[in-house]
């Protein structure tokens, strides 16, 4: 079997990408534009996410939208007048770039209605996903394309019949920014069994330094759990609370975590967004040399200024 055939024979074929949050950490840039549309070098963050889903064999992508959804819809649609103009000029390179996002996957859209929390956004996907397992990729969470993660998560879901969550080791003092997992080790150093989850705990409450990052492979039972869930932290329907219910053994299957050790950027956070642009910029095939030279010169100047001051 080829790689593609292996991917297609898997139980998971659909991806859900929640992109309906308010993006208040990035105001005013996000006043009239979803944060998922902020560019990283030359592509909106969400395009990397949809490309990641497609390269893991998930060619059916449902984006959950909120206010200002038009930018998102337009980005994954074709633009006949622009394509026609580039065709006439014979500019194949730019034509490919324009078409990339409309051809990468079969992209569907669904409105969340009200931004009642990530759990609520995922719950809205039920009518599209049906009775199948599916992946969730947060639209503002960028996994570096050079460090694939989803393939591994889907393989663990398939072999263990489990809900699978991506986890990342973070410093104890940052754990309050994430959902955090209580875990038991397995014989694989990159896989843990999750026994509990808590959303944004204090350093004292945190059961570990393993933080939830924005990739999940979920079984359809999650929808019933979300439907019954009372609002949690911040008055929102929290996906972490639904997953905690399953991790405590109240559902049909176990919950496992895959520990991600690669590069990942929270593009809804201003500092992380700037870092993502620099890190992907220095490795960019057209811009890399120019950006690298500039960063080195800039770092030298900063160092000089600091030693003088």
- Residues in contact with ligand UTP by the rule CB under 6 A: 18-26, 64, 112, 115-118, 120-121, 138-140, 268
Nearest distance, CB of residue 156 and ligand UTP, angstroms: 23
CB of 64 to ligand UTP, least distance (A): 5
Measured from the CB atom, the residue of 189 and 234 that comes closer to ligand UTP is 234
Q: Closest CB to ligand UTP belongs to which residue? A: 21
CA distance 129 to 136: 11
Report the DSSP pairing between strands 210-218 and 163-169.
antiparallel
**Nearest residue (CB) to ligand UTP, 20 versus 135:** 20
Q: Specify the residue, 170 or 282, whose C-beta has the smaller distance to ligand UTP.
A: 170
Residues 6+ apart with CB under 8 A from 236: 116, 117, 118, 119, 120
User: Which residue in 162, 44, 35 sits closest to 107, CA to CA?
Assistant: 44
DSSP conformational letter for 17: E
In sequence order, the 6+-apart residues with CB closer than 8 A to the CB of 127 are: 110
165 closest CA partner among 264, 265, 256, 49: 256
Shortest distance (Å) from residue 138 CB to ligand UTP: 4
| Min separation Cβ 71 and ligand UTP, Å | 13
Compare residues 189 and 230 and give the one whose CB is closer to ligand UTP: 230
| Smallest distance, ligand UTP to C-beta of residue 20, A | 3
Cβ 219 to ligand UTP shortest distance, Å? 20
Instruction: Choose between 86 and 107: whose C-beta lies nearer to ligand UTP.
Output: 107
- For ligand UTP, the closer CB: 124 or 157: 124
In the complex with ligand UTP, the residue whose CB is nearer, 65 or 101, is 65
Task: Give the nearest distance from C-beta 115 to ligand UTP in angstroms.
Answer: 3
Q: What is the DSSP code string of 244-292? A: HHHHTT-SSS-EEEEE--S-EEETTSHHHHHHHHHHHHHT-TTTHHHHH
Backbone angles phi and psi of 267, in degrees to 5: -75, -5
**In angstroms, rounded to a whole number, what is the distance separating the alpha carbons of residues 294 and 282?**
9
């Amino acid at each position: 079997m080829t790689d593609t055939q292996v991917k297609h024979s898997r139980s998971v074929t659909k991806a859900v990408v929640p992109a309906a949050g308010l993006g208040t950490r990035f105001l005013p840039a996000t006043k009239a534009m979803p944060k998922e549309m902020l560019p990283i070098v030359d592509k909106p963050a969400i395009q990397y996410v949809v490309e990641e889903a497609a390269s893991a064999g998930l060619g059916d992508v449902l984006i959950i939208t909120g206010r200002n959804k038009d930018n998102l819809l337009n980005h994954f649609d074709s633009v006949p007048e622009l394509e026609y103009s580039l065709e006439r000029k014979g500019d194949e390179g730019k034509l490919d770039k324009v078409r990339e996002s409309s051809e990468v996957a079969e992209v569907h859209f669904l409105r969340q209605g009200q931004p009642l929390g990530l759990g609520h956004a995922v719950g809205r996907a039920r009518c599209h996903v049906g009775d199948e397992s599916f992946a969730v990729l947060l639209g503002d969470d960028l996994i570096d394309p050079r460090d694939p993660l989803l393939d591994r998560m889907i393989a663990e879901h398939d072999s263990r019949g489990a809900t699978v969550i991506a986890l990342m080791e973070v410093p104890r003092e940052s754990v309050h920014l994430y959902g955090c997992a209580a875990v038991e080790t397995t014989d694989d150093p990159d896989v843990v069994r999750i026994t509990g989850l808590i959303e944004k705990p204090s350093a004292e409450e945190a059961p570990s330094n393993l933080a939830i990052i924005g990739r999940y492979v979920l079984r359809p039972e999650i929808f019933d759990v979300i439907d019954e869930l009372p609002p949690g932290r911040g008055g929102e329907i929290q996906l972490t609370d639904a997953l905690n219910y399953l991790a405590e053994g109240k559902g049909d299957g176990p919950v496992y975590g895959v520990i991600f050790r690669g590069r990942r950027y929270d593009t809804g956070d201003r500092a992380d967004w700037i870092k993502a642009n620099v890190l992907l910029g220095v490795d960019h095939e057209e811009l890399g040399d120019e950006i690298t030279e500039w960063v080195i010169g800039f770092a030298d100047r900063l160092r000089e200024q600091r030693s003088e001051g």
